[in-house]
Amino acid sequence: MSPTLLIVTPFGTAGGGAELWLLGILGDGALQRGGWSIDAIVLQEGPLTDELRQRGVKAITYPLPASPAGIVRRTPRLRRLITARTPDVVLGNGVKAQLAVALALAGLSIPTVWIKHDHSYDRSLARALAKRVDTVVSTALEVGEPTRRNDLVVIEPPRPLDPLTASEAAHVLRDHGWQPTTRLTLAMLTRLVPYKGVDLAISALAESRCNVWELLVIGDDDPSTPEESRRLRALAERLGVNDRFQMTGHINEAGRLLSAVDAVAVLTRPGQPGAPTREGFGIVAAEAMLAGIPVIVAQEGPISRRLRTQTGPAGVTLQSPTSEHLAEALVTLADEDTRASMGARGVEAARNLPDQAQVTQAFADVIERYRPRP
């Protein structure tokens, strides 16, 4: 009988960093070829369930509320769903998933692995959850440090897919409603939630020194903040920059389209209760670097570490996550030669990231620890 890996993952979207990491390691069927049967419980409605099924995963959806109290109320049913699948190991893909798993499996001896992707609830939950799992895997060293696990396993996401050419990418973006102008384009590829900092970018556009820039946002409203796109459009109109602000909604493999823009911003910042206070690994930043596009990041962390290359910066790290400091960065990147030199350094650095096969094997090595022995 095949050993069973059960994945519990929190979001139904298929385009977030945690979901892309998961889909990547499941993409080529290496775990199944290694004899593993893979089940999944997705804790939110959305396209991810079907994406998992297309990869041979027996996936179901069991929506959980966002609040800890709501999770607790639905724990008994989740416990039954998990134990009915008789898993040999359970993987919690993110902090919400791992909290749900920890509550559901209290008192049971089923091994668990927590994949820590970001800085959500670092102060309140990171150490407590880490004490209740067999293995913690983080997607960047900085992301895993708050757990204080000496046996932390770091498996960074793989090198992204190669970008399209600038003309090919622009064609796809136009098909999704983008209307490019003669201005420079700052892009953000993100779920529309307040902590991702799209409002910082809109506010920066309103400064006269940034009038050569426009903002393109690729991504949908998140179920947790369904009115965010409306809020952002209202902000752009109030600040008088709505003619320089465009949103396309979700686009599959949007990271391959960043070659069509002039800079990419990752502006995760503190301020939304329960949300990450800074960005984790930052897959979008890696996609931009591979495309030769300079990156602006709001704070120190894994992205800023990668932007510091041996030959110079591949982007700009803000002194603090404010619209004023973002405007300063945009003034710097308005210079074509600066963008070109930073972009070239980014390509060189991104090419050194591991490929998908290496990442999948590293993950398989972790899961193999929990294969039942005869």
Residue 274 has pLDDT above 80, yes or no: no
Q: List pLDDT tens digits, range 240-271.
A: 999 999 999 999 899 999 999 999 999 999 87
Other CB atoms within 10 Å distance of the CB of residue 252: 11
Helix locations, 107-256, DSSP H:
127-130, 141-144, 166-175, 198-205, 228-238
CA 308 to chain centre: 21
296 beta partners: 265, 316
Q: Are the C-beta atoms of residues 91 and 8 closer than 8 Å to each other?
A: yes
What's the token pair of residue 168?
A: 């090919």
**CA distance linking residue 162 with residue 139, whole number of Å:** 21
Residue 68 has pLDDT above 80, yes or no: no
Strand order in the sheet with 245-247: 245-247, 213-218, 184-189, 263-266, 295-297, 315-317
* Lowest mean pLDDT across 124-128, 142-146, 160-164, 274-278: 274-278
The domains of the chain, with CATH numbers, are 4-157+355-368 (3.40.50.2000), 166-350 (3.40.50.2000)
Residue 275 has pLDDT above 80, yes or no: no
What pTM was estimated for this model as a whole? Answer: 0.87
Give the model's pLDDT for residue 9.
98
Give the model's pLDDT for residue 277.
82
**CA distance linking residue 336 with residue 333, whole number of Å:** 7
Q: At what angle do helices 283-290 and 17-26 cross, to 10 degrees?
A: 70
**CA distance linking residue 204 with residue 313, whole number of Å:** 22
Q: Are the C-beta atoms of residues 109 and 246 closer than 8 Å to each other?
A: no
What's the token pair of residue 326?
A: 């973002």
What's the token pair of residue 250?
A: 């979700």
Give just the sign of the alpha carbon dihedral 319, 321, 325, 331. Answer: positive
Pairing mode, if any, of strands 308-309 and 315-317?
unpaired
Q: Give the pLDDT mean for 39-59.
A: 96
φ and ψ at 317, to 5 degrees? Answer: -100, 125
Residue 286 has pLDDT above 90, yes or no: yes
Closest to 354 measured CA to CA, from 367, 363, 344? 363
For the chain, percent of residues with pLDDT exceeding 90: 87
**CA distance linking residue 183 with residue 185, whole number of Å:** 6
CA 238 to chain centre: 30
SS3 27: coil
Count of alpha carbons within 13 Å of 357, Cβ hemisphere only?
0
Q: Are the C-beta atoms of residues 42 and 7 closer than 8 Å to each other?
A: no
Residue 109 has pLDDT above 90, yes or no: yes
Helix locations, 291-355, DSSP H:
302-307, 323-333, 336-350
Residue 273 has pLDDT above 80, yes or no: no
Cβ within 8 Å of residue 362, ≥6 positions away: 153, 155, 354
Closest to 79 measured CA to CA, from 122, 110, 115, 44? 110
Q: What angle do CA 292, 233, 183 make, to 5 degrees?
A: 40
